[in-house]
Structure 1
Amino acid sequence: MFGFVNVLVPVLTDGGEDRGPQAAAPESSSRIVPSPSTTPPADPAGPGAPGPSDSPAPSASLSPEVNTIQYTGTVRIAYAGPDLDAVPPEISEYDNDVHLGLVEPPRISTGLSSSAMALWSGSTMPGRQQCSDLISTQAIEQVEVRKGTVVCLRTDAGRIAVLTVTSTSNGFNAGEMAQVTVWSEVSD
C-alpha cells in the first residue's frame, strides 16, 4: 500500500556549487526543514502549463503607493532655495521650488512658474491628498513665514510637499529653515 518515491534533489557544496541531482533518502520519522532559497521552485507541470489557479502570483515589484515618501528632512530656504525634486533636495539659485523673497517680514515664494503653494491652517499636519486639494483650490504666490508656518507646495516636476518653518532669520542668505516631506508620486 505504501511505496517509496525517489526524488532528485540538487545538493550544494559549502561553496554554493551545484553537484548535480542526488537521490534523496526515503522520508523518515525525523522532520527535515528546508533552508531558505532565493530561487523560486520549478513548475512541475512545465512552462506554459495551467496552474491550480488562474490568478497571477503577486509581484515583488509593486508600483509606488500614492503616499510613498520620497524625502523627509530639513532644508534651508534662502535666496537660493531647494530643488525638492532632487533626493536629497539641492540648493539651487535657478532651479528651485521655493525661495526667500527680498521683503520684510520674511516671505517665501515658489521658484518656477509650474510650482504652486498654499498656506495650511489646519490643526494637524496635512497628508499628500489634503495638500494637493488645498493647492488646487487656494494657491498663492507668496507666504509670510514665522516659526511654525505650514505650507503645501507642488514642485516643478509635480510632486506634492509640505514644509513646516522651524526657524527664521533676517538674513537674505541665511534664510529660513524648514522640515519638509516630499511625496514621490508626480501629479497629473
Structure 2
Amino acid sequence: MRDYDDIPEVFRRAFDEFTQRNEGGEDEPPGRPPRPRGTPFWRNRYFWVLVILFLLLLSFNWIIHTYTDWLWFQSMSYEDVWLTQWSYQIVSFLTFFSLALVIMLGNWLVAKRRVLRTGQSPQLFKVPGINWLIIAPAVFLAYVFGQAGTMYWDEFLRFVFRTPFNVAEPIYNLDVSFYLF
C-alpha cells in the first residue's frame, strides 16, 4: 500500500526543480532547441486584412441599414434630422463604450497592482501577451455595452436636454421632470 502523504511533497519538489531550472531566463525547458522568434502576428499584413474583412462582414447589415435610412431621409429633405439622430447615437455609443472600458480596464489595473504589491510574482504575469488576453475581451465587452447603450439614445437625449416642469412633488420636493426624462 502507498503512502499518500508523500504525494504533495513530490509535487512541491518537482515544482521547485522546475522553477530553479527556469530562473535563468530560459523560456524553453532544457533539452529542447530554442524556438525561433518570428514576427508577431499583429505585424502581419494578412492578419489585418482578415480583421478588416471580418469587421466589414459583421457590419454589412448595419452599413446597408444606415445607407437606406440616409437615402430615405434625403428624399424627404430631412437630412438634418437624420444627422442629428445619428450623431447622438454615436455620442451615446462612445459614452457607454468608454465608461465600460474604463471600468473594466481600471478593474484589471487595480487587481494587477494589488497582486504585485503583495511581493509575489504569480505565473500568470509571466505569460507572454497576458495584457492582450485581458484587453481584447474588455474592448469587445465594452463594444457590446456601447451597442446596448446606443439603443437608448433617445432617453439619453431626453436626460441631457431635460426641461423642468416647475412643479414640485409633495414627498421628496423634487421637480416632476426628475421622474419623466
Tell me the TM-score normalised to structure 2 length.
0.17
Tell me the TM-score normalised to structure 1 length.
0.16
